[in-house]
């Protein structure tokens, strides 16, 4: 099977990363497909199983860890497991497409270390922590506790930016989308 390229997008939640990733996936000429992660957290809002995530219960998730089905996995929040199934790469490469990951910084760097030549790792940075918190509140999908937990995590995540190939500051979304498109097109 021919290997495609891997594009890792990592960022604190509330950075606008998901919007940028969706935009790129819609650009057919780039031939990108989304690596659907598995998670043990519950679906949020309009999220669909097998599209946004493969939603698994904690036990099924742990069984897949034991069976070595994951390329990488993490317990991102207490009892909330997230991971990339090896079968996702095979599925997407078989379609002749490049893989896009929307995953956390540690998972992203893990993928990069396993596929150093094929991976472009992009860190999407919110203009500030204050702006990030404001975006999370506007989204109205998380409880106050969750928002504070995400902000605390973001502070730590920002320190990983230097380990990525590129840091993309999402100040103006239109500009950030264009920059992301060019980065991906050039790497292909
Ligand atoms: P959320 O619950 O907001 O969808 O995601 C929480 C965090 O888990 C985010 O930082 C997200 O990027 C990360 N995440 C999602 N999928 C994966 C994955 O497959 N592996 C890892 N390591 N993190 C992931």
Ligand 1, atom 3: closest residue by C-alpha: 13
Among the listed ranges 91-95, 129-133, 168-172, 177-181, which one has the minimum average pLDDT value? 129-133
Is residue 84 in contact with ligand 1, taking CB distance under 6 Å? yes
- Ligand 1 atom, smallest distance to 39 CA: 16
Instruction: Count how many domains the chain has.
Output: 1
Judge whether 1 lies within some domain.
Answer: no
In a domain, 117, yes or no: yes
Query: Is the residue at 41 inside a domain?
Result: yes
Give the tens place of pLDDT for each residue, 31-72: 999 999 999 999 999 999 999 999 999 999 999 999 999 999
Which two three-digit tokens encode residue 114?
């396993």
User: What confidence tier does 12 reach under pLDDT thresholds 50, 70, 90?
Assistant: confident
Angle at 20 between CA 157 and CA 47, to 5 degrees: 85
State the Cα–Cα distance between residues 113 and 128, nearest whole angstrom.
28
Domain hosting 57: range is 6-187
Structural domain contains residue 157:
yes
CATH of residue 129's domain is 3.40.50.300
Alpha helix segments (H runs only) across 58-172 = 58-66, 86-94, 105-114, 129-139, 144-158
Residue 1 is predicted with a pLDDT of 52
Report the length, in residues, of the chain: 188
Residue nearest to atom 18 of ligand 1 (CA): 83
């Amino acid at each position: 099977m021919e290997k495609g390229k891997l594009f890792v997008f990592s960022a604190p939640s509330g950075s606008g990363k998901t919007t940028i990733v969706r935009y790129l996936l819609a650009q057919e000429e780039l031939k990108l497909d989304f690596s659907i992660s598995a998670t043990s957290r519950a679906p949020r809002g309009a999220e669909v199983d097998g599209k946004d995530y493969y939603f698994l219960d904690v036990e099924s998730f742990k069984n897949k860890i034991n069976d070595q089905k994951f390329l990488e996995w993490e317990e991102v929040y207490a009892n909330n497991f997230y991971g990339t199934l090896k079968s996702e790469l095979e599925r997407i490469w078989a379609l002749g497409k490049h893989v896009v990951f929307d995953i956390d910084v540690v998972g992203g760097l893990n993928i990069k270390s396993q596929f150093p030549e094929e991976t472009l790792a992009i860190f999407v940075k919110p203009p500030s922590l204050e702006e990030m918190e404001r975006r999370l509140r506007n989204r109205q999908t998380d409880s106050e506790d969750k928002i504070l937990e995400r902000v605390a995590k973001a502070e730590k995540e920002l320190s990983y930016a230097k380990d990525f190939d590129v840091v993309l500051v999402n100040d103006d979304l239109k500009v950030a989308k264009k920059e992301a498109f060019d980065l991906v097109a050039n790497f292909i």
